[in-house]
Every structure is written in structure tokens, then in C-alpha cells.
Amino acid sequence: MTAQSRPSRFPLPLERVKKTGATLGSVPREPLRPQRPLHEAAADAKRLVPPSGLGLDSSGVRTRMVERLKKGGLRDEAVIAAMLRVPRHEFVDTALAAQAYEDTALPIGHQQTISAPSSVARMIELLMGGDGARKRGQLGRVLEIGTGCGYQAAVLAQLSTQVISVERIKPLHDGARERLSSLLKPGAVRLVHGDGRLGHAPNAPYDSIVAAACGEDLPQAWLEQLAVGGRLVAPVAMTGAQQALVVVDRNNQGYIRSIHETVMFVPLKSGLD
């Protein structure tokens, strides 16, 4: 891992990051799904039934996933506990449920993915490494950019006082609301259908901000909505097609950034769908 730190004004001059060989995320293409003939409607209905006999509801399958993450470098005990509590298979298509606890990104529709468990764990572990609310072992009030299927929001909810999660694609927003309402206590996560590049000013400032999509820059709105003592973690495009995790800490003097390992995330877009 390489890291560079210095006070900086924004927009950030994001220079080229050295190659580390580590890739925490992946963006597989969503497989083409031809329309099913009407006479196969029964088979389609059967596909919606959760698979049985896979042991996906047991704590053992999540424990094995987390043990692999620990071997890969995950150290934060609070993050480990949060990853153990959230059933990842509840956030993927039932046809992909058997792959839910593999360390891979999976398609969730609309050209989006659920991030690999190692990507989620690493970004949250970086968030926990800052000051402010993290000194109490909590992320405080969190702004998440890109709700997707809701999995990362569910993990963040285990470590925060509240999560505000913004999603620009309405079907994903609606699907995440349905899943999270049955898994979390009311108020733990507030979902917003909006343009993530604008953040969410009504609930600012935020102790922690995390983005699940890669932009060409760090939007000014995110920086302005980050509390003093807060930390932001986001993938940012570097030279060529390379992406890297960028960490920004805000203090009374301004912003300090550091560049971490290379990653691969879906692109950050503006507007609503």
C-alpha cells in the first residue's frame, strides 16, 4: 500500500498513484437474460424461491467469509463484527445467492454491482481509522453515496448513529428500502432518491462519508458536508483507466488527503434514473 498525505485545497490535484498490485473491487458485466417463453412461467416463479439446503442463514457461512477477509488483512474488530451480522445473501438475486459469500462483486441490475465483501470491509475500516466519532468506536452520522442493493448501508448501520444513503436509480432505491426495512430497526438508515454528487445537505454535516462509485474528482458538495474531524473515503479516477481509494480528513486548518490501493468501481454519474 502506498500513501501520500499533505494539507490540500480543493479541487484536489490527484496525481498518479503507484501500483500496488491490490485490487479490491471488480465490476462484472451483468449477464444477458433472454425473455422467457410464457409456457416457462412456472420455472420463472420457482426461480424466485430462495434456495434451500445451502446454509445461507447460518452464522457459519458468514464466519468463513470473514475468516478469509481476516487472512486478507482485515483487522478492525468492530468491522469484523459488523460483517458477521449482515446476511449478504439477502441483498442479491436468488439466482446468485450461492455466490453471496464469495469475495466477488455481483450484478444487481441497471449496470450496477454489489461490491465485493473485501471492498466493503476495507472502505469501512479506513473510515474507522479517522478521528471524531471514530474515537468512540462509531462512525457517527454517515453519508453513503450509492445505496445500490443496500448491503453496505446495512453494514454501516451496525457502526453508526445513523446512515443517510443516496441512490440515483429509483428501482435500486426502492429495492433497498424493502430489504432494509425488514432487517434493520426503524431510523437506522434513511434512504434518499437523489443525485449522489450533490450529497445530502439537509442532514449535513457528516462524521463519515463513503462513496460506492468512482468519479473523476471529489465533488465539492461532499467536502463541504464533511464535518470538522470527519473522514471521507471514495474511489477516484487517476491517470488512464486506473482508480484508487482516496481518504480525506477535515480539520480546523482544512483538508488532508491520502491515496491508497488501486480498486475498480462502477462510474459515478449525475442526475436521476
Catalytic residues: 115
Cell (9 digits) for 187: 431510523
Q: Concatenated DSSP letters for 140-206?
A: -EEEEE--TTSHHHHHHHTSSSEEEEEES-HHHHHHHHHHHHHHS-TTSEEEEES-GGG--GGG--E
Residues 249, 3: contact at Cβ < 8 Å? no
Dist. CA 9–CA 3, nearest whole Å: 18
Which is nearest to 211 in space by CA: 147, 262, 138?
147
Which is nearest to 189 in space by CA: 208, 161, 169?
161
Strand, helix or coil at 128? Answer: helix
Dist. CA 39–CA 69, nearest whole Å: 44
User: To which H or E segment does residue 235 belong?
Assistant: strand 226-237
Dist. CA 92–CA 100, nearest whole Å: 7
Dist. CA 238–CA 8, nearest whole Å: 17
Angle (CA) 163-168-170 rounded to 5° is: 100
Which is nearest to 172 in space by CA: 213, 138, 132?
213
Q: Which residues pair with 143 in a beta bridge?
A: 164, 209
